[in-house]
Amino acid sequence: MDANIAAAASKHPKPIDRVFQYGTAGFRMKANLLDSVVFRVGLVAALRSRKLGGQTIGVMITASHNPPEDNGIKLVDPMGEMLENSWEAYSTELANAKDEDVVTVYRSLEERLKINKDEQARVIFARDTRPSGPKLVTALVHALEATGTEYTDYKLLTTPQLHYLTRCTNTEGTPQSYGEVSEKGYYEKLAQAFARAMKGKKTVGPVTIDCANGVGGPKLAELLKFLPKGSTGGVEIKIINDDVLKAEVLNHDCGADFVKTKQRAPPSSKAGNERCCSLDGDADRLIYYFNDPDHGFRLLDGDRIATLAASFIGDLAREAGLSQDLKIGVVQTAYANGASTKYIEKTLGLPVVCTPTGVKWLHHAATKFDVGVYFEANGHGTVVFSQQALKAFQTKVPESPAQANALETLRALTELINQTVGDALSDMLLVETILSHKAWTPKEWDLTYTDLPNRLVRVEVGDRNLFKTTDAERKLVEPQGVQAQIDALVAKYKDGRSFARASGTEDAVRVYAEAATRSEADDLASKVAAVVK
C-alpha cells in the first residue's frame, strides 16, 4: 500500500513554498493550488474513518461564498458534525509534508493515533458547481483508491446535504436513523416535515429565493417537486440566480454574502415589499430581506432568524407544557447585533451564550441546551435538540387539544430542521413555517426589535497572528495595550461596543463597532481601526 500511496502522491505534487492551514472553513484558496491538498485530505479522511472503527467520513469540495476561481475542502465527522478539532492539526501536518514524506507522515499519524491498520475505511463525498470540482475529485479518488477506501461519489450536492447523508449513512438501520440514505430521502424528509409543521396554515404571498448561481439552485428546484403546492399548507417560491452553467456568475452580485456585506438586494432582484432571501454558493447560509415602503431595504439576517426561531420554539414549548423541563438557549458570536442579544435576554427571557467565530464552536455550545438555537449574523446556523427534548416531544401525554397541537408542531420541527449543520433550504422552510403560523409579513418580523447601527471593517495589518483574543474574541490580550485604547474609545459612545480580532479565513484583522447612531458607529469603527493598524 505504501508504494501505491507514494505513486499516487507523486501525481499530486505540493506547490513549493506554500503553507496550508485547515481553518474555520477547512482548506480554502485559489483552486489551482489545491490539488495536493485535496489528495492529502483524502488520506486524512481514510485515517479518520479507520480511527472511528470504519464509520463513514464525509468530504465536501466547495468554497462556499468565495469567487468562482476559488475552491476548498472540508471533512465531516460521522454524525454530520464538523471535523473534530484535533484533527485539523493532523490535516494541516499532512497537507504541508514534502512530497517524498507523504507516506512517512501518513504512517506516523497512524501510529501516533493508534489506528488499526486492518480497519476498512469508508468515505462519501460531493462537490459544488465550480468548474475546478471534477479535477479535484480526481485527486481525492486517487487518495481513496491508494488507501483501499470504500467510497461513494454523490456528485453535486449542497454542503448540508452531504452532512445529512453522512449522518444517515452512519445511523442506517439503528434506532437513531436520521433518514433515508439518498438525495431523494433528504427532499422527502424536509417536504413531509414541512407539510406537518405548516398544518394547513397559509403563507402570506410568495418568497423570492436568490440561489447565488450555485448548487442551491438545482437542488431547490428538486426540492420543489416534493413540497406541498398552493399557499395553504404550502409556499409559492420564485427562484432567481440559478444559472450554474456560466461559471463566472457564481456568487457574483448575488447570494447571502453579497446581501449581508453590501447591505442591499442583488441588482437582479426586482422584489418590492415581498419577502426575499439569498442562499450562498453551497447553500449553508440564508439571509432574508425586503423593501419597506417607509424605510427602504431591510435586512433580516442570522440574528433575526435566531430570534424568530427561539421565540417560536419557546412559545411552543410553553403551549406544550414543557417549558419547565427543557432548557432553551441561543448561541451567538460577538458579531451578533447587541439589540438581538438584548431582545433574546430581556423580551424572550432566554439565556444567550457567546462563542468564538466558527460554526463548530456555536454548534458545540448549542448542544449544551435541550433546544439550542445558534446562528452567525451572516446567516449560518440551525437548531439542535437534545435526546431529552426529542423524548419529551414523543412521550408527553397532551392534556388539551392545544397541547397536542404544539407537541405535533415541535415533532415536525425536529424533522424539518437539519440538526447536523446550518442548511439554507431547511432554514428557509423553517422561517416560512414560522411566518405562516404567526401570519407575519417580513415587516412584522422586522419590528420585533431595532438593530443598533453597526460597521464591520477589514484592516490590513503586518501580521495578523500578533492579535490574540480572550472572552469569545471580544477582548484583545495582545498586542499589549491595544484593548485599553479600544475600551477608552468605546466609553465615549452611547450604546458603544467594539472589538478587533484576526480573521480565520483572510489575511486581515476585522473591526466591528456598534453604537446608538449610524455616524457614531462609523466613527467608532474607524477610530478602532486606526488603533489596530
- Which positions lie near ligand NG1, rule CB under 6 A? 24-25, 335, 357, 376, 378, 380, 503-506, 510
- The C-alpha cell at 310 is 427561539
Near Zn ion by CB under 5 A, which window of 11-19, 284-292, 469-477, 502-510?
284-292
Cβ-based nearer residue to ligand NG1, 111 or 506? 506
The nearest distance, CB 156 to Zn ion, in angstroms, is 15
Report how far residue 215's alpha carbon sits from residue 68's, in angstroms, rounded to the nearest whole number.
Answer: 12
Nearest to 52 by CA among 138, 169, 140, 132: 169
Backbone angles phi and psi of 223, in degrees to 5: -55, -40
280 contacts Zn ion (rule: CB under 5 A): yes
Q: SS3 for 26? A: strand
Residue 505: which of Zn ion, ligand NG1, none does it interact with, CB under 5 to 8 A by kind?
Answer: ligand NG1
**φ, ψ for residue 115, nearest 5 deg:** -95, 130
From the candidates 49, 64, 278, 436, give the one annotated as an active-site residue.
64
Residue 335 binding partner per list Zn ion, ligand NG1, none, with a CB distance cut-off of 5 to 8 Å that depends on partner kind: ligand NG1
Q: With CB cut-offs between 5 and 8 Å by kind, which of ligand NG1, Zn ion, none does residue 280 bind?
A: Zn ion
Closest CA to 187 of 431, 432, 423: 423
Instruction: State the minimum distance, in angstroms, from the CB of residue 15 to ligand NG1.
Output: 23
Compute the least distance from the CB of residue 180 to ligand NG1, in Å. 29
195's CB contacts (< 8 A; 6+ apart) are: 227, 228, 233, 234
Counting contacts by CB under 5 A, is residue 284 touching Zn ion? yes
CA–CA gap between residue 166 and residue 57 (Å, rounded): 7
Instruction: Output the CA torsion 269→183→181→27 (10° steps).
Output: -60
> Whose Cβ is closer to ligand NG1: residue 80's or residue 234's?
80
Q: Is the CB of 66 or the CB of 170 nearer to Zn ion?
A: 66
C-beta of 25 vs 431, nearer to ligand NG1: 25
C-beta nearest to Zn ion: residue: 64
Is the Cβ of residue 23 or residue 206 nearer to ligand NG1 in the bound state? 23
Q: How far is the CB of 511 from ligand NG1 (least distance, A)?
A: 10
Q: Which of residues 31-70 bind Zn ion (CB under 5 A)?
A: 64
Using CB under 5 A, which residues numbered 59 to 118 contact Zn ion?
64
Q: Which is nearer to Zn ion, 71 or 341 (CB)?
A: 71
Q: How far is the CB of 72 from ligand NG1 (least distance, A)?
A: 10
Instruction: List the single partner that 284 binds among ligand NG1, Zn ion, none, CB under 5 to 8 Å by kind.
Output: Zn ion
CB count in 10 Å sphere of residue 463: 10
Cβ atoms of 162 and 154 closer than 8 Å: yes
Q: Is 64 a catalytic residue?
A: yes
Q: Which is nearer to ligand NG1, 167 or 380 (CB)?
A: 380
Give how many residues touch Zn ion by CB under 5 A.
4
The counts of H helices and E strands in the chain are: 18, 19
Could you give the dihedral angle defined by the CA atoms of residues 224, 228, 234 and 235, in that order, rounded to the nearest 10 degrees?
A: 10
Alpha carbon 62 to its chain centroid, in Å, reads: 13
Q: Scan residues 141-180 and list those touching Zn ion (CB under 5 A).
A: none
Beta strands in 386-486 (DSSP E): 454-459, 468-470, 475-478
Minimum CB–partner distance for residue 506 and ligand NG1 (Å): 5
CB of 99 to Zn ion, least distance (A): 31
381-385: strand order across its sheet: 352-355, 328-333, 371-375, 381-385
Query: What grid cell was written down for 230?
Result: 398552493
**Among Zn ion, ligand NG1, none, residue 503 binds (CB under 5-8 Å by kind):** ligand NG1
- Judged by beta carbon, residue 326 or residue 417, the one nearer Zn ion is 417
Stretch in the footprint of Zn ion (CB under 5 A) among 228-236, 276-284, 447-455, 478-486:
276-284
Q: Which does 378 bind (CB under 5 to 8 A by kind): ligand NG1, Zn ion, none?
A: ligand NG1
SS3 assignment for 256-297 = HHHHHHHCCCCCCCCCCCCCEEEECCCCCCEEEEEEECCCEE
Contact 365, 333 (CB under 8 A): no
Q: How far is the CB of 376 from ligand NG1 (least distance, A)?
A: 4
Please identify every residue annotated as catalytic: 64
Give the interface with Zn ion as residue ranges (CB under 5 A): 64, 280, 282, 284
